[in-house]
Chains A and B, each alone.
Chain A
Amino acid sequence: MMSTQDVKLMAHLMRRAGFSATRSELEKFLDKGYEQTVEDLLSPGDPGNMPDDLIRRYHVEQSELRELSGAGAYWLYRMITTNNPLEEKLTLFWHGLFATGYAKLNQARALLNQIDMFRSYGLGNFKDLLIKLSQDPAMIIWLDNNDNHKDAINENYGRELLELFSMGIGNYTEDDVKECARAFTGWTLKNAEYMAMRAGKDSIWPYGRIAWHYEYRNDDHDEGKKTFLGHEGNFNGEDVIQIIVDQHATAKFVATRLFQFFASDDVDSESHDQVISEMVDAYFDSGYEIKAVLRTLFNSDYFKSQECMYSRVKGPVESVVGTARLAGSYQQPHLDVDKLWFQTMFMGQGVLAPPTVEGWHEGVEWIDSGSLVERVNYAAKEFGDTTKSGVRDIITRLSRTYSEQINVPDLVDGCLDLIGPIQVGDNTRDSLIDFVSEFSDNNVLDISSFDSKGSKCVAQTLGLIASTREYQLA
């Protein structure tokens, strides 16, 4: 028998390690139990997402992947239809941390190839991930490593690797930055001159974009001796990365960023520090395995505590994807799927287009009056439609749990349960009850068919719940 408490905890896990889950999904996870669900999330199998052949046949822009909105929609399709939600959520995390943006690249496919790389390596060994990141053509152009030559170094990538991608400022010297950059000379992309020129001019001529891949130019690599973080040797990029991943600062940095993304916007209590320190231990004990670090987090008492629940503001992508999954939208190719990408941008998080190398500012900074209006209108539209399979599923469940003739408080409480469960304040619940009462003139609502007024009221109530302050939190 599953308790309300179990359902609540599982919904919490799925909001954090995924993009929210429908009641049917939660039931499947509950059958397996919490820890097994965590293990399954950490060992993604067949994603079962919308197949590429269907996407490519109907959406020419997602076949060519020339421009940003098509590429963004392509990824959003995957987030919405995958059976491996943590794989996508973690990929979104790496995308925010190793933020690479379209504006300088003008190469959507290179970004999606980078996203694929995050998918393949994101749960694995952090050392491998940093090596692949350093060989990623989108990153190479983004941080100018194609201009990092043995006789003229460009420090940009070397610096950001240390500052933003691994150790954090204050843990290395300016000399370390230079030596790091030297180690990455010769790490470039094929046809770098032509590709950089095309990127710089946003050239798609004559026949669309030419995709990118990594090339190591041995003759442009600085073979000299380097001194990096107290180590000496003729280091190449891989050697430098080995030194980096061995640093305590790196472990702390990675654990903290994962904690902030998956557990709590702010790191401001002893229990937070405690979990992060356990994550650091897991990092070293496992030999830098991200999977082990996340397992530690999800199974920690803190993560499962009431204190942790609703302590993060949902990001725009989480919000858009979560709502689409709950409403059952975009399960088949849809003419207007590109609007989803614009939707994330209007809310302040255009995927594949982070504003700077520092990614997005998260937490309450996601919310301003403009982005809130977008959130509310998007969610109200998604849920306010009784043709959506997710909405219909909720209506069917309500009629089974209660009755085809449902009273006002049951309808409100049932919706709050089935859209989450989501905890709301009394004021919110009272407002919802007032809304439904007025909608129905205080009568019992008939939800026996999907086009009844009662069913429509369920849809509007779900939309209204998605407009609440509480729904903006994860």
Chain B
Amino acid sequence: MEKRQKSLVVVQLSGGNDYLNTVVPYGDDDYYDFRKTVRIEQSDVLQIDKMYGFNPHLSPIKALYDQGKVAVINGIGYDNPNRSHFRSMDIWHTALPDEIGSEGWLGRVIRELDPKSENVLTGVNFGRGLPRALGVRGVPVASVGNLETYGLFTDMQDEAEKSLALRAFTHMYGGMGKDSVMEYLGQTGRDALKGADILRTAPAKYSSTIEYANNSVAQNMKSMAQVLLADLGTRVFYTQHGSFDTHSGEIISHAKLWDEVSGAVADFYDDLKEHGRDEEVIVMIFSEFGRRIKDNGSGTDHGSGGVAFVIGSDIKGGMYGQYPSIKQADQLEGDLHFNNDFRSTYSTIIDDWFGLDSVPIVNGQFEKFDFVKA
């Protein structure tokens, strides 16, 4: 059987995920000294080894880890860490830490995968509005708020009226434009219709025994599975979940968020496996920054140095990078010291998973990891 094309799913944890409470250095007494309140007790940790373990609310990911499907990228970040959500997220999206960039790294990946923009669905974002990571001028990317209702005239309740409106739209945008602007508008309208028509077919074709939970990230990942299994040629899938900005009441909210994310990712993986498609897809999970080493009595504040995960059947599971020391002397302004540039992970995915050239996409050469199976 012909091997299908490889795809990437990106799950963005918005708001700054608390690394220390995600992969917990439970064997380090300093952790409990700095985390007087906002901490995961030793007895609750899902042990990886004598020093580190997963937060119990990552148990579905831990199960995948135990099967060797999860690469944990420790200490990920970039020089001169920025602790502002928007700016740091921009840096991750544009792969440019030192200047304000205008092109998203995944937009560039999509342009390489589909240079002539033959498929308007090569990149699909699940959620409304386009993340900067996917934005490159001239690269069409669909942003799908709800797969079932995606398209034009979504607020028209009456189906008969809606179909009349769609017919009128098709006619109006079908005619020749009187000049290049009108022609361009016509083409764009026809593209929009086409993309919507194709996407709408995905849920109908789908059948699975997996029951995804009723939260936004789970439903978005279900939509991803539907699009992927419908073979629409989508190669880059994107969604985000949050808010991980846990300045207060972190123990409760962080647990809920990870229950949702890890449940969604594991369901998605099982869904693909059920359809024999798990080897085509990897899932990358990242956040714009980690959080302070010392808690504030209720939550944790913006920090630096974080953790990313890359998950899939074609991933060599294990711990990658160095878990940064949390000793006072080793801290960076009260935060974890990053020790691998996030573009190393990007480069590994671009080169070793997609088989593209990462240098122009991430704006430079970065040492790669070895987490993709040959």
Contact = CB atoms under 8 A, between A and B. Distances in A.
A336 to B, nearest CB: 13
Interface residues of B, number: 52
A203 B174 CA distance: 51
Tell me the interface secondary structure of chain A in the complex.
helix
Given A102-B86, A469-B177, A435 B168 contact: yes
A104 B87 contact: yes
A102 B191 CA distance: 32
A270 B359 CA distance: 45
Contact of B83 (A202, A377, A380): A202
A39 to B, nearest CB: 32
A377 B152 CA distance: 6
A188 B196 CA distance: 50
Contacts of B100: 104, 355-357
Contact of B196 (A373, A431, A435, A439): A373
A376 B153 CA distance: 7
B90 interface: yes
B85 interface: yes
Nearest to A363: B181
Interface in A42-85: none
B68 interface: no
Interface in B275-315: 301-302
Contact of A345 (B129, B164, B175, B302): B129
Interface in A364-407: 364-365, 367-370, 372-373, 376-377, 380-381, 384
A367 B185 contact: yes
A347 to B, nearest CB: 9
B242 interface: no
B301 A373 contact: no
A201 B84 contact: yes
Contact of A372 (B102, B141, B192, B301): B192
Nearest to B145: A346
A469 B302 contact: no
A249 interface: no
A106 interface: yes
A464 B165 contact: yes
B84 A202 contact: yes
B184 A356 contact: no
B5 to A, nearest CB: 22
A103 B86 contact: yes
A103 B182 CA distance: 34
A369 B87 contact: no
A432 interface: yes
B327 interface: no
A110 to B, nearest CB: 14
Interface stretch (B154-162, B217-225, B263-271): B154-162
* Closest 7 pairs (CB-CB, A-B): A427-B175, A103-B86, A431-B171, A369-B192, A202-B84, A435-B168, A469-B185
30 contacts: A102-B86, A200-B82, A202-B85, A205-B301, A342-B129, A346-B129, A355-B100, A355-B102, A364-B181, A369-B120, A369-B192, A369-B195, A370-B140, A372-B188, A372-B189, A376-B192, A377-B152, A377-B155, A380-B156, A384-B155, A428-B175, A430-B171, A434-B168, A463-B165, A467-B152, A467-B169, A467-B172, A469-B173, A469-B186, A469-B189
Given A380-B152, A431-B168, 15 more contacts: A199-B84, A200-B83, A202-B84, A205-B247, A346-B128, A355-B100, A364-B184, A367-B188, A372-B185, A380-B156, A431-B171, A435-B168, A463-B153, A467-B169, A469-B177
